Structure 1
């Protein structure tokens, strides 16, 4: 069995994640890791930046408008950006599971079966163009489906409609307000993929973008039960190499020699920090709370050779942005000037590196 130490595992994972930034389209960057978390639009754009070369934030928005990528509820029941051609098998595999898993909470909110059926029928009739949540809630009320706009009813209804393949996110407004569209109108009719085939696709795509990894990693990342994650790995067992990765048996797939990743400024919720069962290899134990302060909020980090070296934030002025870095006290920061410059290019703003935060 091949043995990889911690540094080799980090190197392999950053390469697999595409953090060398060689993808030339938004869809290619997203496809590399199956999906990028997208509940925070600005963070979603930054996740694309570190995986592409020469693209801008506007290119990400244009890809959404152009329907080469789509945002919908996917892994872990969380909003993700997918390549448009992956929507069918991803939603077909994960959607029913999370729709069923969300049933108790929907019942608590008063979204019973009769109301859901009435709402689904209403959505099919009223969503004839991209509409905001407020627009949809108001139009549903006109058809007798009344939701409390200040409660959790609307987001849980929208999540259910997405999981069942009816709705997905459309283009955001100029103020980054989300809109919603019918999947059949926005992406076309989706061809069903049976579960065994979809699990095999999931395992292969996950390992290509995250390996070395375990079935437990796949279960945590996808939100599926460990039994399904193991079945997914078993489905491609003849293509998997089992290695010892930092003392743990893990799986890898043979793939092209991807380039090494330079120092990166990862945004909130980056896939590199959310793609595994734990962050032990990426985040030093002494600094876990600095990276995840609570509530699932994963901070932007400075990543060097696959290891978090500190956190960072931006401070906006009228005509510029300053990148403020708070290094971990036991970590030396590499030169960040090129990365800061690229961030400014991507955002279309003059950007500068501030003094380290004490």
Structure 2
């Protein structure tokens, strides 16, 4: 089937729920496969852009989703029911990849094992912040340099070993819980790599094995093998699952948060982000700015200015916006304010 660039963009946006929002946090997270979540506010906004009538509290309090270190060794929000098999898929690989950095931080194998053993005694029935965990470890004679990266690397290692995951945030502070207390579900697919590839293509519509490798952080060879066992059809610049509807309307204007999945799912963003503006979105260091989506293309960036009286959502477009795009963004800003429980106005 011949697909235009506009067709591909629309199919991808629909796969991301950007033109067909879902009614609850779990449905959004499952449809997108995984939401990068090293920034809790950004993860909330990824859900908002794809949800209908949800609030930030809905995201924070849902036990149907969970956060741990998975794709690209980065924190992701995933369905709780998938936490164990995804942890088994990525955890050992991430733990091995982090070994050199742990040694630089004096996190020896012996110290890590002592810490993990003590976490098993410290965490049952509790959700503790990083500082509370460090205090508990120090009481057991395991003292870490709190000014270094040793504490977060130890916690990531414990998560990669399948001991802990993130719990609910305590205000602005994340908490950590025993994985066995967050979920008891065992949901191992027979072929985890193929299952992940299927979920990826469901979430990203049309893509290649190279795109899947970029998104997942898995070796390209594994990604190609995973694609080979799926029932795929050629679709423009990549492949789609045979059941994918290769027609879709354009999505309305959207405000995407930082690190939005729409920008993280492909090896090449040129189809929806003009290379001339790429550095305004990704200035370096892996940072992805909040972006404006108009007609399935990145049309600008945005940020928030808060005063005592109101919240300003400041949009910086790459080019002049049409009246219909501005009207759509005004609706988005209204929903952004509703989601956070604060009055918000659009400023261009």
Which sections of structure 1, spanning at least 5 residues, go unmatched?
A: none
Deviation at 1:332, TM superposition (A): 5.1
Task: Determine which of 100, 103, 122 is the counterpart of 2:99.
Answer: 103
Aligned to 2:134: 137
Deviation at 1:189, TM superposition (A): 5.8
Residues 1:152 and 2:161 are matched in the alignment: no
Give me the whole-angstrom Cα distance separating, in 2, the residues matched to 1:58 and 1:217. 32
Task: Determine which of 214, 234, 255 is the counterpart of 1:265.
Answer: 255
How high is the TM-score relative to the length of structure 2?
A: 0.94
Residues 1:220 and 2:214 are matched in the alignment: yes
Summarize the Cα distance change of 1:326–1:298 in structure 2 as closer, same or farther, 3 Å threshold.
Answer: same
Give me the whole-angstrom Cα distance separating, in 1, the residues matched to 2:22 and 2:249. 11
Contact kept in structure 2, 1:92 and 1:193, CA below 8 Å: no
Aligned to 2:243: 254
- DSSP 3-state at the match of 1:81: strand
Give me the whole-angstrom Cα distance separating, in 2, the residues matched to 1:287 and 1:252. 31
Residue pairs, 1:37-48, within 5 angstroms: 37-48=36-47
Give me the whole-angstrom Cα distance separating, in 2, the residues matched to 1:59 and 1:328. 33
Task: Determine which of 78, 85, 89 is the counterpart of 1:82.
Answer: 78
Residue pairs, 1:235-254, within 5 angstroms: 235-236=229-230, 239-245=231-237, 249-254=238-243
Deviation at 1:251, TM superposition (A): 3.6
- DSSP 3-state at the match of 1:315: strand
Contact kept in structure 1, 2:15 and 2:202, CA below 8 Å: yes
Aligned to 2:205: 211
How high is the TM-score relative to the length of structure 1?
A: 0.92
Give me the whole-angstrom Cα distance separating, in 1, the residues matched to 2:204 and 2:109. 38
Aligned to 1:295: 285
Give me the whole-angstrom Cα distance separating, in 1, the residues matched to 2:269 and 2:243. 24
Give me the whole-angstrom Cα distance separating, in 1, the residues matched to 2:256 and 2:319. 19
Give me the whole-angstrom Cα distance separating, in 1, the residues matched to 2:107 and 2:223. 30
Q: Could you say what the CA RMSD is over the residues aligned between the two structures, in angstroms?
A: 1.7
Deviation at 1:21, TM superposition (A): 4.5
Give me the whole-angstrom Cα distance separating, in 2, the residues matched to 1:351 and 1:252. 40
Which sections of structure 2, spanning at least 5 residues, go unmatched?
A: none
Deviation at 1:62, TM superposition (A): 1.9
Q: How many residues align?
A: 343
Give me the whole-angstrom Cα distance separating, in 2, the residues matched to 1:255 and 1:244. 13
Aligned to 2:27: 28
Give me the whole-angstrom Cα distance separating, in 2, the residues matched to 1:125 and 1:266. 41
Summarize the Cα distance change of 1:26–1:259 in structure 2 as closer, same or farther, 3 Å threshold.
Answer: farther
Aligned to 2:53: 54
Summarize the Cα distance change of 1:80–1:339 in structure 2 as closer, same or farther, 3 Å threshold.
Answer: same
After alignment, is 127-136 or 249-258 more displaced?
A: 249-258
Give me the whole-angstrom Cα distance separating, in 2, the residues matched to 1:298 and 1:332. 25
Deviation at 1:253, TM superposition (A): 3.7
Cα shift readout 1:190-221 (whole Å, capped 9, x = no counterpart): 45556xx1111101100000020000111110
Cα shift readout 1:168-189 (whole Å, capped 9, x = no counterpart): 001101x220000000012126
Residues 1:169 and 2:161 are matched in the alignment: no
